[in-house]
Chain A
Amino acid sequence: MKRLLAVLLLLVAGQLQAADFDYRLAAVPVAKDVYTFIGKTEDFTTGNGGNIVNTAFIVAPQGVIVIDSGPSLRYGEQMRRAIAAVTAKPIALVINTHHHPDHFLGNQAFADVPIAALAETRDGIAADGNAFAENLYRMSGDWMKGTEVQLPGQTLSAGIVDVAGRRLRLVALDGHTGADLVVVDATSGVVFAGDLAFNGRAPTTPHADVAHWLKALDRLEGLTREAGFTVLLPGHGAPSADAGPIRQTRAWLTWLSAAMRDAAKAGLDMNEVLARPLPAEFASLPVAASEYRRSVGHLFPAAELQALGAKP
């Protein structure tokens, strides 16, 4: 009976924990004055509330630079409180690396400060933001309560910028989406790779151009070879002191695009492509099976067009 009660109590406690909508964000230092909040290497669920993404901030001389704002209003608010626990400096700028919802739907919590992104990212958020948010409501449930799209008000372009007394190098790439911003913090040597790099989690491809992405990975790997490089922060998965996540992402994309091409050439129907087993190299990678299935939907039709000799 006691054991039963204990189990019941645990169940209730578990419910409470899920119901308090606390992401339990903990700022992890990756370099001097540079911190990250590490998300889980999972899919969006009502359990994780969409905390599957890495966000970050730099404590600059005159203020805080935030890189990506997370999947919801609640996340943005909690992130802001967690930043305030580290530094009393005001937020100087929020940067959205690309137009995927887990990277910008926390913007509302920063509506009183400048929010900036590449032009194509701003356009993407304006065009697809609401549909993305609706989809996250479906997948993450009440964690999303009150979340609405807050457009970045400022446009970034590639080059060296000075933000709050810190020199940042903005590198405009593409391939994961139509515009993927990489931020290089020269002072700390941290490279914020956004979703061009995944670490220990299968990459997502809903807006991917794989050929462009592979080119972007070469540029990104070049950045990790520059003098002063210390840490690569991927959009998903653990930070890395080397180009490991870039190589992982490249290996997945190279295999994936070859698999689509070969399947189309062999005359497979889409359901047969979906049913193919993953190679041993990738089978144990978190969410590999579900991302593979999604990627077949995203990438197989183009491979099929080519195999059938159709004009794109």
Chain B
Amino acid sequence: MKYPLTIAAIALAALMPPAEAAALRESGDPLDSARWSEMQKAFLAGAPVLFDPRVKVIAPSTAENPMQVPVTVDASALPGGAEVVVFADFNPIVQVLRFFPEGAPAFLGFRVKLQQSTPVRAAVRTADGVWHVGGTWVNTVGGGCTAPSAAGGSKEWQQRLNEVSGRQWSEGPNAGRLRMRIVHPMDTGLVAGTPAFFLEEINFADAAGKRLMRVQTYEPVSENPVFTLQRTSADGPVEATGRDNNGNAFTARIDQ
């Protein structure tokens, strides 16, 4: 695969610090995962790939709770990211989520269920068609995808399905931040007798109706998902709309 630009030219054009420029590479998975080539075929088919330190995937190296592993993807230092796909090489359901930063920076925090120790990666597609890939290994005792959701133990979630709570921060070091939680069992379908039941799509739009971000979520996203977004400025309320794979829809307003 030939690039439109050489790596050196990319580094120069992006004014990258030398340490980061040195970390750019076209081949040779930095996480040394046996499944990388499969992942590349499945998610980034045919397109050029660049391992890029500007795509930061933050997660604990050892996860205390495999049902709720916090992951933060921050590709805000990479200009022009149009689509971000997040996957975990060794998860039984590999694809975690996909998001499209529109009016908001390419920053998203969430939590995932992991079945075993695995790389967690984010690939960011820029307008030139290149996938910029970042990632990190998470070690876990596992079982996150085949353990029943807490909702499975009670009927309460049925009354509260898609109940949204959230807040925006307009001041302080986290000005522009939005955090939102949705009540949903996010069942993977891998627990006997419990079909897959999960949120599929969430859209965030500002008061003027301009879309900030579209998020496609899949089974591995943790039960009762919590999302963290970062707006360039906290400017009025945000409307969140979404639906799950059974067609249950929600609309919620998140105030400051």
Contact = CB atoms under 8 A, between A and B. Distances in A.
Contacts of A270: 70, 109, 111, 226
B141 A308 contact: no
Interface in B145-168: 160, 163, 165-167
Interface in A241-283: 266-272, 274-275
Contact of B177 (A138, A267, A296, A305): A267
A266 B174 contact: yes
A267 to B, nearest CB: 4
Contacts of A308: 165-167, 179-181, 226
A141 interface: no
Given A270-B70, A297-B68, A135 B141 contact: yes
Contacts of B58: 271, 275
A304 B60 contact: no
A40 interface: no
A58 B172 CA distance: 57
Contacts of B60: 271, 274, 293
A268 B180 CA distance: 12
Interface in A145-204: none
Contacts of A296: 64
Contacts of A311: 160, 163, 165
A275 B228 CA distance: 16
Contacts of A85: none
Given A308-B179, A308-B180, A269 B72 contact: yes
Contacts, number: 71
A52 B181 CA distance: 38
Majority secondary structure, B binding face: strand
B150 to A, nearest CB: 11
B255 to A, nearest CB: 10
A155 B74 CA distance: 53
Assign chain A's interface to a size class. Answer: 20 to 34
Contact of A293 (B64, B165, B166, B228): B64
B173 interface: yes
Contacts of B39: none
Interface string B93-135: 0000000000000000101000000000000000000000000
Interface residues of B, number: 30
B202 interface: no
A275 B59 CA distance: 10
B241 interface: no
B75 interface: no
Contact of A267 (B65, B160, B174, B183): B174
Nearest to A274: B60
Interface in A115-147: 135, 138
Contacts of A222: none
B194 to A, nearest CB: 20
Question: Which of A135, A267, A293, A311 has the most chain B CB atoms closer than 10 A to its own CB?
Answer: A267
A111 B60 CA distance: 40
B85 interface: no
B250 interface: no
B181 A305 contact: yes
B213 interface: no
Contact of B181 (A267, A293, A298, A310): A310
B212 interface: no
Q: Which 9 pairs of residues, A with B, have the shortest CB-CB distance?
A: A310-B165, A270-B70, A297-B64, A269-B109, A267-B174, A267-B169, A269-B228, A267-B177, A271-B72
Given A293-B60, A301-B68, A308-B180, 12 more contacts: A266-B173, A267-B228, A270-B70, A271-B70, A271-B71, A271-B72, A274-B70, A275-B58, A297-B64, A297-B68, A298-B65, A305-B181
10 contacts: A266-B169, A267-B167, A267-B172, A270-B111, A293-B64, A294-B64, A304-B181, A304-B226, A305-B165, A311-B163
